[in-house]
Structure 1
């Protein structure tokens, strides 16, 4: 697969939320690998906005998203990940392993761009073959 970014890691929505809430383990790992190696998907971006607009601290959370967007590369969901999404979803459905479309989209973005997905939600993502996973919350 062709790699479109110089990134190494794609941070999942849950990891981003832990980081924004001050998780020290994620902060240390992010600084150790370098912010230039980190990205997050437009899917996670949308999920963060939903969380912000649905929260009691809307302005604070919207500001946190803006700061995050200044630090990290935003990785789009384009034609390559869209095609892979369709294949992964069909394969999972045939196996009886349904997971959320958003998670499949995030996985497709990571796979298409040869990125390691950083998540604390491995129970969903381990169902997707060849997806490289790391958990920075538990170490």
Structure 2
């Protein structure tokens, strides 16, 4: 993994503060792509990193070995997991109706993640902005 300067790490930690992190960014962190791992650690030290229970499912589902499962769980222990509660589920249903009315199809998991983010009024940090940028009222930031 490439080391980032303290200034870079602080900047990225601020950029991730109070944002919801999508599975692809978490996976990049696990795989050590770029300095994403350091960015995640820097931000998590300030207790400002969030993800969803749906992202937990996606990461756990993708882990194939005991070592990978352990790495996933260690990473997820460093972030705050937002649940798919009633209000977030209703928000996701609203998003689904909006998209279907516009003739847009989106994977159910992405719709649920967007529902949690929009319900909590949190920007979503992702590398798949094309999946989410069609959702009205959702702030999407590509890392």
Scaled by the length of structure 2, what TM-score is found?
A: 0.81
Number of residue pairs aligned between Structure 1 and Structure 2: 126
1:34-73 to 2 correspondence within 5 Å?
A: 34-35=44-45, 36-52=47-63, 55=64, 58-73=65-80
Please list every run of 5 or more consecutive structure 2 residues that lacks an aligned counterpart in the other structure. 1-16
In structure 1, stretches of 5+ residues that fail to align are 1-6
Greater relative contact order, per chain length (Cα 8 Å cut-off, separation 6+)? 1
Whole-Å Cα distance in 2 between the matches of residues 31 and 16 of structure 1?
11
From the superposition, tell whether residues 61 and 31 of structure 1 become closer, same or farther in structure 2 (CA, over 3 Å): closer
Give the aligned partner of residue 3 of structure 1.
none
- Give the corresponding residue for 1:91: 98
* Structure 2 CA distance for aligned equivalents of residues 33 and 49 of structure 1: 22
TM-aligned CA deviation for residue 23 of structure 1: 2.2
Confirm whether residue 110 of structure 1 aligns to residue 117 of structure 2.
yes
In structure 1, what is the Cα distance between the partners aligned to 2:43 and 2:93?
32
2:140 pairs with 1:130: no
Question: 2 CA distance for matches of 1:29 and 1:125?
Answer: 22
Structure 2 partner of 1:12: 22
Kindly state the Cα deviation for residue 66 of structure 1 after the two structures are TM-superposed.
1.5
Q: Normalising by structure 1, report the TM-score.
A: 0.83
Q: Partner of 2:37 in structure 1?
A: 27
Partner in structure 2 of residue 4 of structure 1:
none
